[in-house]
Structures are given as C-alpha cells and as structure tokens.
C-alpha cells in the first residue's frame, strides 16, 4: 500500500474587502485541522487567496494587478508555508500570478513536505469572455484577466506517487485527465470556483451544476484509473453564490468523501495509490488498448 492522507480543504466565501492576511489565517486553521486528522497533503481551491475577482469588470485591466501575486511565497503567504513545513504537510493551492515579464496566469502550485515549491501549473482552459456581456446575469471575465497557461499538463513524483494538477474548468475536459493519465498520474489535484447559477441559463438549478461537477470528476478518475481531489471555494461572495460539493474520488470513479456545507470544511481520506494499478493494467492499459490512429481530429481542430 502507498497511502497518501489527503485533505480537501474547502473554503467558504472570500469577500472583496478581505485581506490576504485574513485569508491565510483561515487557511492555516484548515491546515491545523487537517493535521489533527492525519493529513500529509492539503488541497485548497483555485484563487484561494482572494475573492473570485474575474466576476468584476474594469476597463483598464492593469487596475486589477493588485489581485495578483508577484512572488510566491509572498510576505502574506509566508506563514502558510512555515506552518506546512512545521506540520510536514505537502500543499496545493491556486492564486493569480503576475510574472516578472508582465504575464498574467491563473496558477496552482504543489509543495513538498518541507514547504518547497516543487510544481507549478497554469490554467489552460479559461472559461468566460473578454468584454462586458450585458446578456449575462453575472460576468465571468477569466479570458480578460488571464492568458492560457503555457506549462502543459505535467506530473510530479512526490509523496511516493505521481501527482498532477489542473484548475476548475479544466476538470470538465477529458483531455486534461488523459494527458496526465498518459504520464501515469495517480492523483490529480483540482481547485475550483463555480457559480451556483448558470449566467446564460438561469433556469438551470444548482443540483444540475453539482451533477456536472461530479460527472466530470468521476469520469476523469475512472477513465484514467486515478484518484481525483476537487476542492471548491463556495458560498456567497459579495452577492455572487458559488457552489461547494468538494469531492475525493477513487480510481473506480466512486466518491469517497463529499463536502456538506458551503463553508470552510476539511475532508480527509487515506488514498492508496496502489489502488490505481488494477485499472491501469486492465481496461485502461493505454499501451494495449488505445487506438490513436483514430484520434487525430482531437488535436487537428
Ligand atoms: N473558475 C472556473 O473555471 N469556473 C467555471 C465556470 C464556468 S461558467 C463560465 C467552471 O467550469 O466551473
């Protein structure tokens, strides 16, 4: 058995006015709870340090650079890294990244148990739109504020296994999991912020949206024989509701833990990475069963 005790650290809402320091305090409280429950890896949401700012429109997008981190760890996040090292806990969280040469990405990092950053992923599937859209009940301006990630879907050898990262909308695309699956991924870490209301289809209820969340994550796990940990930022952010429903899914595609609230909540599960072997050597033994000569359309258009 190769056990990773993973904590899905769902976060409740972060308001526009909340400081990074206040948010980091909440993240440390979640980390302490995860430690008490035996976790050796903690997974936080997408854009964990701030409100989901892509719902707000500004003409001059540079005005929004205050939502971005120019370095990691930053002064505000240093206490989180220190506590992770003290607890000997690996971690994954998302933040808005502004690079020294002026590029803006929706980013996630993975640290080892000493708090050293060992992996970085930049969100590839950016949903939403660039300009203000009068037809929507709320804005989703990720295409305005971020560039598509430039690092691909990599995996990292950490915690005795093969770990991958993705962010929010990526979880709805089978290619996300498959590219990591082809690299033998055993656990995929995904943070998300998903509105409870479909801005283009107001009659769609939150139950349908939670169904699509589960469907995407469970299918990705099963079809690639991997654990998937999907973690929400949830609740009402300045009048904009996000759903919770954080999940830990096993390599059979079955849910082993699911959040019950729309608030700060920790789920811990002992994941045996060896449980990925059966699927990877039988029905989803890619080398034996894939028929790539018929898959060309996927990358040609
Ligand atoms: N953050 C993020 O990617 N959210 C999207 C909402 C899509 S609606 C424009 C998601 O796929 O959950």
* Model pLDDT, residue 61: 85
* Gap between the Cα atoms of 11 and 19, Å rounded: 15
pLDDT digits (tens, 9 = 90+) for 244-272: 999 999 999 999 999 999 999 999 999 99
Residue boundaries of the structural domains of the chain: 3-300
For residue 160, give the 3-state DSSP assignment: coil
pLDDT, greater one: 199 or 93: 93
In the prediction, which pLDDT does 51 show?
98
Q: Give the closest residue (by CA) to ligand 1 atom 11.
A: 169
Is this complex scored with an ipTM above 0.90? yes
8 within ligand 1 shell (Cβ under 6 A) = no
171 lines ligand 1 (CB under 6 A): no
Q: What is the pLDDT of residue 76?
A: 97
Residue nearest to atom 1 of ligand 1 (CA): 193
35, 97, 158, 168: the catalytic one is 168
- Assigned CATH for 3-300: 3.60.110.10
Mean pLDDT (whole number) for 30-55: 98
Residue 190 burial by Cβ neighbours in a 10 Å radius (0-12, 13-18, 19+): buried
For ligand 1, atom 7, which residue shows the shortest CA distance?
Answer: 127
* CA–CA distance, 299 with 285 (Å, rounded to integer): 21
Query: Which atom belonging to ligand 1 lies closest to the Cα atom of 198?
Result: 8
H or E element: which one contains 129?
none
pTM, two decimals, is 0.98
Q: What confidence tens digit (pLDDT) does each residue in 268-298 have?
A: 999 999 999 999 999 999 999 999 999 999 9
- Is 135 annotated in the active site? no
Is the pLDDT reported for residue 52 higher than 90? yes
Distances (CA, A) of 143 to 75, 114, 205, 251: 28, 35, 25, 32
Query: How many other C-beta atoms can be found within 10 angstroms of the C-beta atom of residue 39?
Result: 27
Ligand 1 touching residue 169 (CB < 6 A): yes
């Amino acid at each position: 058995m190769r056990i990773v005790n993973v904590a899905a650290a769902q976060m409740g809402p972060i308001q526009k006015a909340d400081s990074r320091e206040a948010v980091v305090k909440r993240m440390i409280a979640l980390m302490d709870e995860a430690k008490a429950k035996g976790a050796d890896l903690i997974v936080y949401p997408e854009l964990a340090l701030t409100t989901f700012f892509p719902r707000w429109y500004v003409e001059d997008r540079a005005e929004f650079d205050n939502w971005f981190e120019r370095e990691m760890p930053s002064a505000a996040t240093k206490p989180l890294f220190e506590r992770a090292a003290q607890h000997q806990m690996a971690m994954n969280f998302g933040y808005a990244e502004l690079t020294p040469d002026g590029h803006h990405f929706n980013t996630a990092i993975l640290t080892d148990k000493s708090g050293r950053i060992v992996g970085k992923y930049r969100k590839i599937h950016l949903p939403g739109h660039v300009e203000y859209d009068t037809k929507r009940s709320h804005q989703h301006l990720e295409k305005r504020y971020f560039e598509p990630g430039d690092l691909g879907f990599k995996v990292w050898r950490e915690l005795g296994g093969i770990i991958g990262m993705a962010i929010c909308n990526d979880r709805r695309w089978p290619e996300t999991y498959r590219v990591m699956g082809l690299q033998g991924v055993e656990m995929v870490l995904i943070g998300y912020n998903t509105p409870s209301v479909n801005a283009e289809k107001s009659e769609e209820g939150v139950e349908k949206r939670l169904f699509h969340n589960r469907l995407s994550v469970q299918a990705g796990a099963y079809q690639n024989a991997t654990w998937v940990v999907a973690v929400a930022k949830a609740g009402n952010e300045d009048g904009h509701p996000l759903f919770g429903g954080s999940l830990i899914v096993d390599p059979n595609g079955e849910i082993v833990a699911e959040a019950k609230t729309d608030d700060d909540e920790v789920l811990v599960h002992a994941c045996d990475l060896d449980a990925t072997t059966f699927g990877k050597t039988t029905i989803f033994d890619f080398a034996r069963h894939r028929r790539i000569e018929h898959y060309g359309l996927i990358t040609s258009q």
